[in-house]
Amino acid sequence: MGGGRVTIAAMILCLLALAVLPFFADKFTVQLVTKIMIMAIFAMSLDLLVGYTGLVSLGHAAFFGISGYILALSTPQYQAANFWVSLPLAMAGAGVLALVIGCLVLRVTGVYFIMVTLAFAQMLHYLFHDTGIAGGSDGMYIYLRPDASILGWRPFDLEKFGDFYFVVLALFIAVFLFLRVVLRSLFGQVISGVHVNEARMRSLGFPTFRYKLASFVLAGMLAGMAGYLSAVQFGVVNPDMLGWHLSGSVLMMVILGGMGSLVGPIVGAFAMILLELGLQSLTKHWQLPMGLAIVLVALLLPRGLIGLASLRSRSKEAADA
Protein backbone atom coordinates (compact mmCIF):
# COMPACT_ATOMS: atom_id res chain seq x y z
CA MET A 1 0.00 0.00 0.00
CA GLY A 2 3.06 2.24 -0.26
CA GLY A 3 1.90 3.19 -3.76
CA GLY A 4 -0.65 5.71 -2.45
CA ARG A 5 1.95 7.51 -0.37
CA VAL A 6 4.39 7.61 -3.27
CA THR A 7 1.67 9.06 -5.51
CA ILE A 8 0.83 11.79 -2.98
CA ALA A 9 4.49 12.64 -2.52
CA ALA A 10 4.92 12.87 -6.30
CA MET A 11 1.87 15.09 -6.57
CA ILE A 12 3.13 17.46 -3.86
CA LEU A 13 6.50 17.64 -5.61
CA CYS A 14 4.80 18.49 -8.92
CA LEU A 15 2.71 21.16 -7.20
CA LEU A 16 5.80 22.70 -5.63
CA ALA A 17 7.50 22.72 -9.01
CA LEU A 18 4.45 24.46 -10.52
CA ALA A 19 4.38 26.99 -7.66
CA VAL A 20 8.00 28.08 -8.08
CA LEU A 21 8.12 27.83 -11.88
CA PRO A 22 7.48 31.55 -12.62
CA PHE A 23 10.50 32.52 -10.52
CA PHE A 24 12.86 30.56 -12.75
CA ALA A 25 11.27 30.14 -16.15
CA ASP A 26 11.00 32.62 -19.02
CA LYS A 27 7.77 34.18 -20.22
CA PHE A 28 7.21 31.59 -22.96
CA THR A 29 7.41 28.66 -20.57
CA VAL A 30 5.16 30.32 -17.99
CA GLN A 31 2.53 31.03 -20.64
CA LEU A 32 2.85 27.51 -22.02
CA VAL A 33 2.30 25.95 -18.60
CA THR A 34 -0.64 28.33 -18.03
CA LYS A 35 -2.19 27.04 -21.24
CA ILE A 36 -1.55 23.44 -20.23
CA MET A 37 -3.18 23.94 -16.82
CA ILE A 38 -6.22 25.49 -18.51
CA MET A 39 -6.47 22.48 -20.80
CA ALA A 40 -6.02 20.20 -17.79
CA ILE A 41 -9.08 21.80 -16.14
CA PHE A 42 -10.95 21.22 -19.42
CA ALA A 43 -9.77 17.61 -19.60
CA MET A 44 -10.70 16.91 -15.96
CA SER A 45 -14.21 18.22 -16.63
CA LEU A 46 -14.56 15.86 -19.60
CA ASP A 47 -13.22 12.95 -17.56
CA LEU A 48 -16.11 13.45 -15.15
CA LEU A 49 -18.32 12.47 -18.10
CA VAL A 50 -16.20 9.94 -19.97
CA GLY A 51 -14.30 8.25 -17.18
CA TYR A 52 -16.73 8.43 -14.28
CA THR A 53 -20.27 8.71 -15.67
CA GLY A 54 -19.56 6.66 -18.79
CA LEU A 55 -20.82 9.28 -21.25
CA VAL A 56 -18.49 9.69 -24.23
CA SER A 57 -19.05 13.27 -25.36
CA LEU A 58 -17.52 14.48 -28.60
CA GLY A 59 -18.96 17.98 -28.22
CA HIS A 60 -17.44 19.19 -25.00
CA ALA A 61 -15.86 22.21 -26.68
CA ALA A 62 -19.35 23.75 -26.89
CA PHE A 63 -19.20 24.68 -23.21
CA PHE A 64 -15.57 25.74 -23.41
CA GLY A 65 -16.33 28.04 -26.33
CA ILE A 66 -19.60 29.47 -25.14
CA SER A 67 -18.18 30.92 -21.97
CA GLY A 68 -15.34 32.48 -23.92
CA TYR A 69 -17.99 34.11 -26.08
CA ILE A 70 -19.95 35.19 -23.00
CA LEU A 71 -16.86 36.97 -21.72
CA ALA A 72 -16.20 38.59 -25.10
CA LEU A 73 -19.80 39.74 -25.54
CA SER A 74 -20.22 40.96 -21.96
CA THR A 75 -16.99 42.97 -21.98
CA PRO A 76 -17.79 46.66 -22.62
CA GLN A 77 -15.98 47.97 -25.68
CA TYR A 78 -13.39 50.24 -24.07
CA GLN A 79 -13.50 48.91 -20.53
CA ALA A 80 -12.50 45.77 -18.73
CA ALA A 81 -15.12 43.36 -17.42
CA ASN A 82 -15.11 42.60 -13.72
CA PHE A 83 -13.44 39.26 -13.04
CA TRP A 84 -15.66 38.42 -10.06
CA VAL A 85 -18.82 38.98 -12.09
CA SER A 86 -17.80 37.73 -15.52
CA LEU A 87 -16.32 34.38 -14.44
CA PRO A 88 -19.46 33.22 -12.58
CA LEU A 89 -21.57 34.62 -15.42
CA ALA A 90 -19.62 32.68 -18.05
CA MET A 91 -19.75 29.47 -16.00
CA ALA A 92 -23.47 29.89 -15.37
CA GLY A 93 -24.03 30.42 -19.10
CA ALA A 94 -22.13 27.23 -19.88
CA GLY A 95 -24.18 25.46 -17.21
CA VAL A 96 -27.50 26.60 -18.69
CA LEU A 97 -26.37 25.48 -22.14
CA ALA A 98 -25.32 22.12 -20.69
CA LEU A 99 -28.73 21.80 -19.05
CA VAL A 100 -30.56 22.38 -22.35
CA ILE A 101 -28.27 20.18 -24.45
CA GLY A 102 -28.11 17.58 -21.67
CA CYS A 103 -31.89 17.21 -21.57
CA LEU A 104 -31.77 16.32 -25.28
CA VAL A 105 -28.64 14.23 -25.58
CA LEU A 106 -29.18 12.16 -22.44
CA ARG A 107 -32.26 10.69 -24.07
CA VAL A 108 -29.90 8.51 -26.08
CA THR A 109 -26.97 6.33 -25.11
CA GLY A 110 -23.81 4.77 -26.47
CA VAL A 111 -22.85 5.53 -30.01
CA TYR A 112 -25.87 7.82 -30.49
CA PHE A 113 -24.60 9.94 -27.62
CA ILE A 114 -21.24 10.41 -29.34
CA MET A 115 -22.87 11.52 -32.59
CA VAL A 116 -25.50 13.75 -31.01
CA THR A 117 -23.10 15.64 -28.73
CA LEU A 118 -20.89 16.23 -31.74
CA ALA A 119 -23.80 17.48 -33.80
CA PHE A 120 -25.03 19.94 -31.17
CA ALA A 121 -21.57 21.39 -30.63
CA GLN A 122 -21.31 21.82 -34.38
CA MET A 123 -24.67 23.60 -34.41
CA LEU A 124 -23.26 26.21 -32.04
CA HIS A 125 -20.14 26.41 -34.16
CA TYR A 126 -22.28 27.31 -37.16
CA LEU A 127 -24.33 29.76 -35.10
CA PHE A 128 -21.21 31.79 -34.37
CA HIS A 129 -19.56 31.07 -37.70
CA ASP A 130 -22.39 31.98 -40.06
CA THR A 131 -24.20 34.78 -38.28
CA GLY A 132 -22.73 38.17 -37.54
CA ILE A 133 -22.81 37.59 -33.77
CA ALA A 134 -19.38 38.33 -32.30
CA GLY A 135 -17.57 38.83 -35.58
CA GLY A 136 -18.62 35.69 -37.44
CA SER A 137 -15.84 33.42 -38.64
CA ASP A 138 -13.10 35.93 -37.69
CA GLY A 139 -14.08 35.91 -34.04
CA MET A 140 -13.80 38.79 -31.62
CA TYR A 141 -11.00 40.41 -29.64
CA ILE A 142 -11.07 41.09 -25.92
CA TYR A 143 -8.88 44.19 -25.74
CA LEU A 144 -8.82 44.57 -21.98
CA ARG A 145 -8.48 41.60 -19.68
CA PRO A 146 -10.98 41.35 -16.82
CA ASP A 147 -10.29 43.55 -13.83
CA ALA A 148 -10.11 41.82 -10.44
CA SER A 149 -10.89 44.82 -8.21
CA ILE A 150 -13.11 44.32 -5.19
CA LEU A 151 -14.25 47.71 -3.82
CA GLY A 152 -11.11 49.43 -4.99
CA TRP A 153 -8.72 46.72 -3.79
CA ARG A 154 -7.00 44.72 -6.51
CA PRO A 155 -5.56 41.38 -5.37
CA PHE A 156 -4.02 40.57 -8.76
CA ASP A 157 -3.66 42.01 -12.23
CA LEU A 158 -4.64 39.70 -15.09
CA GLU A 159 -2.74 41.85 -17.58
CA LYS A 160 0.45 40.53 -15.98
CA PHE A 161 1.26 37.03 -17.19
CA GLY A 162 2.81 36.09 -13.83
CA ASP A 163 -0.32 37.03 -11.89
CA PHE A 164 -2.49 35.21 -14.41
CA TYR A 165 -0.34 32.11 -13.97
CA PHE A 166 -1.03 31.99 -10.25
CA VAL A 167 -4.75 32.60 -10.72
CA VAL A 168 -4.90 29.66 -13.16
CA LEU A 169 -2.79 27.52 -10.82
CA ALA A 170 -5.13 28.29 -7.91
CA LEU A 171 -8.22 27.45 -9.97
CA PHE A 172 -6.54 24.31 -11.30
CA ILE A 173 -5.86 23.08 -7.75
CA ALA A 174 -9.35 24.13 -6.64
CA VAL A 175 -11.01 22.17 -9.48
CA PHE A 176 -8.87 19.12 -8.71
CA LEU A 177 -9.77 19.16 -4.99
CA PHE A 178 -13.40 19.97 -5.71
CA LEU A 179 -13.76 17.01 -8.10
CA ARG A 180 -11.99 14.77 -5.60
CA VAL A 181 -14.56 15.67 -2.96
CA VAL A 182 -17.47 15.35 -5.40
CA LEU A 183 -16.32 11.94 -6.61
CA ARG A 184 -16.00 10.61 -3.08
CA SER A 185 -19.45 11.85 -2.11
CA LEU A 186 -22.66 9.91 -2.59
CA PHE A 187 -23.09 11.71 -5.91
CA GLY A 188 -19.75 10.37 -7.13
CA GLN A 189 -20.65 6.85 -6.05
CA VAL A 190 -23.97 7.04 -7.85
CA ILE A 191 -22.52 8.25 -11.16
CA SER A 192 -19.86 5.52 -11.00
CA GLY A 193 -22.69 3.08 -10.41
CA VAL A 194 -24.51 4.44 -13.44
CA HIS A 195 -21.35 3.87 -15.47
CA VAL A 196 -21.15 0.21 -14.46
CA ASN A 197 -24.82 -0.71 -14.54
CA GLU A 198 -27.47 1.94 -15.01
CA ALA A 199 -30.45 -0.44 -14.84
CA ARG A 200 -29.33 -1.71 -11.45
CA MET A 201 -28.89 1.83 -10.09
CA ARG A 202 -32.37 2.67 -11.30
CA SER A 203 -33.89 -0.36 -9.64
CA LEU A 204 -32.10 0.66 -6.43
CA GLY A 205 -34.28 3.76 -6.61
CA PHE A 206 -31.82 6.37 -7.89
CA PRO A 207 -33.24 8.76 -10.48
CA THR A 208 -30.34 8.09 -12.84
CA PHE A 209 -31.37 10.62 -15.49
CA ARG A 210 -31.12 13.43 -12.95
CA TYR A 211 -27.72 12.26 -11.79
CA LYS A 212 -26.44 12.04 -15.33
CA LEU A 213 -27.83 15.48 -16.08
CA ALA A 214 -26.22 16.93 -12.96
CA SER A 215 -22.91 15.41 -14.00
CA PHE A 216 -23.32 16.81 -17.51
CA VAL A 217 -24.07 20.31 -16.20
CA LEU A 218 -21.20 20.23 -13.72
CA ALA A 219 -18.80 19.11 -16.45
CA GLY A 220 -20.15 21.86 -18.71
CA MET A 221 -19.59 24.55 -16.06
CA LEU A 222 -16.01 23.45 -15.39
CA ALA A 223 -15.34 23.34 -19.13
CA GLY A 224 -16.78 26.87 -19.14
CA MET A 225 -14.24 27.93 -16.53
CA ALA A 226 -11.46 26.61 -18.74
CA GLY A 227 -12.89 28.36 -21.79
CA TYR A 228 -13.15 31.65 -19.89
CA LEU A 229 -9.52 31.40 -18.80
CA SER A 230 -8.44 30.52 -22.32
CA ALA A 231 -10.25 33.55 -23.72
CA VAL A 232 -8.56 35.74 -21.10
CA GLN A 233 -5.15 34.30 -21.91
CA PHE A 234 -5.30 34.80 -25.67
CA GLY A 235 -7.55 37.87 -25.68
CA VAL A 236 -9.58 36.48 -28.57
CA VAL A 237 -12.50 34.14 -29.19
CA ASN A 238 -13.37 32.47 -32.50
CA PRO A 239 -15.65 29.68 -33.71
CA ASP A 240 -12.80 27.14 -33.51
CA MET A 241 -13.17 27.31 -29.72
CA LEU A 242 -16.47 25.45 -30.22
CA GLY A 243 -15.28 23.21 -33.01
CA TRP A 244 -15.03 19.48 -33.03
CA HIS A 245 -11.25 19.45 -33.42
CA LEU A 246 -10.99 20.87 -29.93
CA SER A 247 -13.57 18.38 -28.62
CA GLY A 248 -11.53 15.63 -30.25
CA SER A 249 -8.19 16.73 -28.85
CA VAL A 250 -9.50 17.13 -25.30
CA LEU A 251 -10.95 13.63 -25.55
CA MET A 252 -7.50 12.47 -26.68
CA MET A 253 -5.98 14.10 -23.58
CA VAL A 254 -8.37 12.22 -21.31
CA ILE A 255 -7.78 8.87 -22.97
CA LEU A 256 -4.06 9.37 -23.49
CA GLY A 257 -3.55 10.22 -19.83
CA GLY A 258 -5.93 7.59 -18.54
CA MET A 259 -9.62 8.09 -17.90
CA GLY A 260 -11.39 7.40 -14.66
CA SER A 261 -8.76 9.14 -12.55
CA LEU A 262 -8.16 12.83 -11.95
CA VAL A 263 -4.42 12.66 -12.46
CA GLY A 264 -4.88 10.98 -15.85
CA PRO A 265 -6.36 13.97 -17.71
CA ILE A 266 -3.69 16.25 -16.22
CA VAL A 267 -0.92 13.94 -17.42
CA GLY A 268 -2.73 13.72 -20.76
CA ALA A 269 -2.94 17.50 -21.13
CA PHE A 270 0.78 17.92 -20.42
CA ALA A 271 1.78 15.01 -22.67
CA MET A 272 -0.48 16.00 -25.56
CA ILE A 273 0.42 19.71 -25.66
CA LEU A 274 4.15 19.06 -25.24
CA LEU A 275 4.01 16.36 -27.92
CA GLU A 276 2.18 18.73 -30.23
CA LEU A 277 4.77 21.43 -29.62
CA GLY A 278 7.65 19.02 -30.14
CA LEU A 279 6.22 17.70 -33.39
CA GLN A 280 5.44 21.21 -34.64
CA SER A 281 9.07 22.19 -34.16
CA LEU A 282 10.14 19.15 -36.19
CA THR A 283 7.85 19.30 -39.18
CA LYS A 284 5.13 21.35 -40.81
CA HIS A 285 3.16 18.15 -41.22
CA TRP A 286 3.03 17.40 -37.49
CA GLN A 287 -0.50 16.01 -37.65
CA LEU A 288 0.79 12.90 -39.39
CA PRO A 289 2.97 11.65 -36.50
CA MET A 290 0.28 12.91 -34.08
CA GLY A 291 -2.35 10.80 -35.82
CA LEU A 292 -0.04 7.79 -35.80
CA ALA A 293 0.58 8.28 -32.07
CA ILE A 294 -3.17 8.40 -31.42
CA VAL A 295 -3.76 5.24 -33.45
CA LEU A 296 -1.03 3.46 -31.50
CA VAL A 297 -2.45 4.62 -28.15
CA ALA A 298 -5.87 3.31 -29.17
CA LEU A 299 -4.40 -0.07 -30.08
CA LEU A 300 -1.78 -0.54 -27.40
CA LEU A 301 -2.60 1.56 -24.32
CA PRO A 302 -6.21 0.96 -23.36
CA ARG A 303 -5.64 2.53 -19.94
CA GLY A 304 -3.51 5.45 -21.03
CA LEU A 305 -0.17 6.65 -19.69
CA ILE A 306 -1.40 6.26 -16.09
CA GLY A 307 -2.11 2.61 -16.85
CA LEU A 308 1.46 2.27 -18.09
CA ALA A 309 2.79 3.55 -14.75
CA SER A 310 0.58 1.28 -12.65
CA LEU A 311 1.50 -1.66 -14.90
CA ARG A 312 5.16 -1.08 -14.13
CA SER A 313 4.64 -0.70 -10.39
CA ARG A 314 2.50 -3.83 -10.34
CA SER A 315 5.12 -5.87 -12.18
CA LYS A 316 7.70 -4.50 -9.77
CA GLU A 317 5.56 -5.53 -6.82
CA ALA A 318 5.23 -8.98 -8.36
CA ALA A 319 9.02 -9.14 -8.76
CA ASP A 320 9.55 -8.03 -5.16
CA ALA A 321 7.18 -10.68 -3.87
Partner 1 sequence: MDLPTFLIQLLNAVQYGLLLFLVASGLTLIFGIMGIINLAHGSFYMIGAYLAWSLSGQLGNFWVAIALGIVLTVLLGMLLEWLLIKRLYQRDHLYQVLLTYGLILIFEELRSIIWGDDVHGVPIPDVLSASIPLTDTLAYPVYRLWMSGVCVVLAVMMYWLIQHTRLGMMIRAGASNRDMTQSLGINIQLLYRLVFALGVALAAFAGMIAAPVSSVFPGMGGQVLIICFVVVVIGGIGSVKGALVAALLIGLVDTFGKVLEIEIGGFRVLPELAGMSVYLLMAMVLLWRPEGLFGKRL
The smaller minimum CB distance to partner 1, of residues 112 and 143, is found at: 112
Instruction: Give the nearer residue to partner 1 in terms of CB position, either 30 or 50.
Output: 50
Contact, 191 vs 212, CB < 8 A?
A: yes
- Least distance to partner 1, CB of residue 284, Å: 9
Report the alpha-carbon distance of residue 50 to residue 54 in Å, rounded: 5
Which run of H or of E encompasses 140? strand 140-141
- Give the residue with the Cβ less far from partner 1, 35 or 303: 303
Q: Whole-number minimum distance, CB 72 to partner 1, in Å?
A: 20
> How far, in Å, CA of 287 to CA of 318, rounded?
39
Q: How far is the CB of 120 from partner 1 (least distance, A)?
A: 7
CB contact at 8 A, 265 and 250: no
CB of 269 to partner 1, least distance (A): 16
Q: How far is the CB of 107 from partner 1 (least distance, A)?
A: 4
Q: Which is nearer to partner 1, 129 or 212 (CB)?
A: 129
C-beta of 71 vs 106, nearer to partner 1: 106
Instruction: Round to whole Å and give the CA distance between 56 and 108.
Output: 12
Cβ 15 vs Cβ 172: under 8 Å: no
Instruction: Return the CA Rg of the chain.
Output: 20
Is 162 within 8 Å of 171 (Cβ atoms)?
no
Nearest distance, CB of residue 224 and partner 1, angstroms: 21
Minimum Å distance from CB 210 to partner 1? 17
Which positions ≥6 away from 320 have C-beta within 8 Å?
A: none
Contacts 24+ apart (CB under 8 A), 193-197: 194/53, 194/54, 195/52, 195/53, 195/54, 196/54
* Residue 30 vs 246, nearer CB to partner 1: 246
CA 31, CA 44: separation in Å to the nearest integer? 20
* Residue with smaller CB distance to partner 1, 69 or 164: 69
Tell me whether residue 291 is exposed, middle or buried, using C-beta atoms within 10 angstroms of its C-beta: 0 to 12, 13 to 18, 19 or more: exposed
Interacting residues toward partner 1 by CB under 8 A: 50, 56, 58, 104-105, 107-112, 114-116, 118-120, 122-123, 126-127, 129-131, 244, 248, 251-252, 255, 285-288, 290-295, 297-299, 302
Closest distance between partner 1 and the C-beta of residue 34, in Å? 26
DSSP state of 145: P
DSSP 55: -
Pick between residue 84 and residue 112 the one whose CB is nearest to partner 1.
112
